[in-house]
Amino acid sequence: MDGDFRRGRTLTMRQGIGAEALRILEIGALDKPIARRSDGEVVYVDVVTDDRLREMHAGNARVDPASLVPVDALWGERRLAECVDRGNGFDLVIASHVAEHVPDLIGWLGEIEEVLKPEGELRLALPDCRFSADALRRETGLGDLLANHVMGARRPTVANVVDFWVHHAPRMDGWGRYEGRYSMAGLRPERSLREAIAAGERVRDDPDAYVDVHCWVFQPRSFARAMARLAEEGLVRFACGRLIDPVMPLLEFYAFLRPCRDPAAAAASWRRAADAAADPVEGSAEARIASLEAALMAAEDAMRVVKASTCWKITAPLRWIGGRIA
């Protein structure tokens, strides 16, 4: 299943790649890059060096340290445009399961826009909180995004770290929930409150500490609504090119963003995407139940119309007689 997951993600994120040579910047590719060197001029960016990545993922069963792609540029304290050769701009920027880790999402998007061509595209893959280890967490609000942006956060804040550790539930069975064979009732966070406090104190006391967490919690609709508000006020200069709902086994969603200097047009594109987002997810057990409930309500409404009709009233004696005979 994990192989199917990765193949599906790669196919989705690589749409249109390969037909011609492109300038592509991929952020946080690790050992599973979406872009390939053969696709054109590809630049791999991360926040730490190759050696540090190998050290960080030495015990991670999901990452093969020997297959990590070489990091071409480091993007940490400096702006992205200062870290890469912008040239005439990049055709494509790819970030798979990176945006949720970024402390200042608004600033991060702005720095990416600076290096994209006007006709370029930013492609994001993000975990859907309904099916991930973030299932117990509150979805991100505008106030959360704005607070970190005001601080210019370059590392997860105390609030980001503590909230993640208090609610993180890695035993969440996303596929089981999608298929209706897993109940959220028994799901519990893995960490204790004291562990969460200790992690927060580490961030507070060590200005160089970088505790990697999911800073942001979204599903497609909440992401699109947040983007609509930010775009409306010019805080994010991206329109929605596509918003792709999760499908089995890809219990993540995708957002393809295009640079847009028209706040009204950008906001409208995100509002349309939010309205079209599936909640519950199409094909899920929850969606099937909702469909059956809707069909039942429609049948009940139709029956009420029939019972209120003249024909129903006139034939009442016949139904009474039929019932007596039966």
User: How confident is the model over 278-308, as pLDDT tens digits?
Assistant: 888 888 888 888 888 888 888 888 888 878 8
Q: How far apart are CA 32 and CA 116, in angstroms?
A: 23
- The reply to whether 171 and 292 lie within a common domain is no
19 — pLDDT class (breaks 50, 70, 90): confident
Summarised one tens digit per residue, pLDDT across range 179-226 is 999 989 989 999 999 999 999 999 999 988 889 999 999 999 999 999
- The reply to whether 289 and 272 lie within a common domain is no
Instruction: Identify the three-state secondary structure at position 76.
Output: coil
Residue carrying the six token digits 């991930």: 132
- The reply to whether 196 and 53 lie within a common domain is yes
Domain that holds residue 319: 285-325
Write down which residue in 252, 276, 300 finishes a domain.
276
- The reply to whether 10 and 108 lie within a common domain is yes
What is the rounded end-to-end Cα distance, in angstroms, of the chain? Answer: 56
- The reply to whether 161 and 92 lie within a common domain is yes
- The reply to whether 21 and 142 lie within a common domain is yes
3 — pLDDT class (breaks 50, 70, 90): low
- The reply to whether 189 and 319 lie within a common domain is no
The chain-wide mean pLDDT, for the chain, equals 92
How many structural domains does the chain have?
2
Summarised one tens digit per residue, pLDDT across range 53-106 is 998 888 888 899 889 999 999 998 899 999 999 899 999 999 999 999 999 999
- The reply to whether 272 and 291 lie within a common domain is no
Q: Are 174 and 246 in contact (CB under 8 A)?
A: no
Q: How far apart are CA 128 and CA 5, in angstroms?
A: 14
CATH assignment of the domain containing 191: 3.40.50.150
- The reply to whether 131 and 216 lie within a common domain is yes
Q: State the amino acid at position 289 in one-letter form.
A: I
- The reply to whether 143 and 291 lie within a common domain is no
Q: 0.75 exceeded by the pTM?
A: yes
- The reply to whether 104 and 9 lie within a common domain is yes
- The reply to whether 312 and 266 lie within a common domain is no
